[in-house]
Each structure stands twice: as C-alpha cells, then as structure tokens.
Amino acid sequence: MNTELYSAYLYLNMSAAANSLGFKGAANWFNIQYQEEMIHFQKFYDYINSQGEQAVIGQMAAPASKFKSLMQLFEETLKHELFITKCINELTELAMVEKDHATRVYLQWFITEQIEEEENDRDIIGKLKLIGDNGYGLLMLDNELGTRVFTLPANPAV
C-alpha cells in the first residue's frame, strides 16, 4: 500500500520534471500515471481495512525529482515498475505460503496490471531509442503522450 503511494508521488515529481524539460505531453502522461497509482493505493487501503486490519500510512523517503531527459524519465519508470512487480510477486508468494486464497486472488489484478505497465514503458523506451535526438520525433512522441487520458476503473475498490 505504501509503495503504491510512493509510486504516486514519484510520478507526480516526474510530471513536474517532464514539464520543466518542455515535454507537456509527457507531463500529462506522468500525471495520469500518478492518478492510477493513487487508485492502486486506495485499492490496497480498502482491501486491508476490509480484512479486519488497519491500513497504516508509513513514513517514506522523498522520491526522485531531478531528471535530465525524457529517456531517463522512462528508464527510471521501467526500473520502478520492475520493482513494483517484484513486490507484488513477493506478496503473492506470501499469500500462497499462508494459504490466504482471498489475498492471492485479489493480487491477480495487480499482477495483470504490472504486465501492462512494463509493456507500456518498454514501448515508449523503444520509440525513444528510435527517435534519438531528433527534435521532430521527440515532438511527435510528446504529442502522442499528451493524448493519454485517465479513466476511472469501473469498480476501483475491487
């Protein structure tokens, strides 16, 4: 739960960094990512409380806020999402060891979400590698990133 909250703060910082680099579309993309991570945080918060436990927000380190390029932003995004996948996998393994089938089933949504997150990041990094330093290409990609919209899940509490 707290890792998802950290993720939200990281992506909000990345949105500001992209904006300061002049990539308004990427700033939008990261802002949408922030909103999605807040939904993920809320899902964990609600689930923990629904299981008769008390969700507690812990202290966390400040996420990175300085980035040199669009490529660095997305490389760090992929690195972070790989870390999140590792955390979700560890939770799933623990649920299996504890024979907590409800939690194991619950975590399946996050496993599927991580597959999508990593694929999206790899696709953008691939495009950035093709583009290189071509300003026109960067402008086109930034425009594409700017078309991303936030869609509230039909049932965010599930």
Q: How far is CA 144 from CA 8, 69, 72, in A?
A: 22, 17, 18
CA-CA distance, 129 to 148, in Å (whole number)? Answer: 21
Domain ranges of the chain: 2-145
CB 82 within 8 A of CB 122: no
- C-alpha 98/C-alpha 94 separation (Å) is 6
Per-residue pLDDT tens for 82-122? 999 999 999 999 999 999 999 999 999 999 999 999 999 99
What's the residue count for the chain? Answer: 158
**pLDDT digits 0-9 by tens, 46-69:** 999 999 999 999 999 999 999 999
Q: On the CB side of 45, how many CA atoms lie within 13 Å of its CA?
A: 14
Fold that domain 2-145 belongs to in CATH: Ferritin (1.20.1260)
Amino acid present at 26: A
- Give dist(CA 30, CA 38) in Å, integer: 12
Query: pTM for the complete prediction?
Result: 0.93
Distance CA 130, CA 19 (A): 22
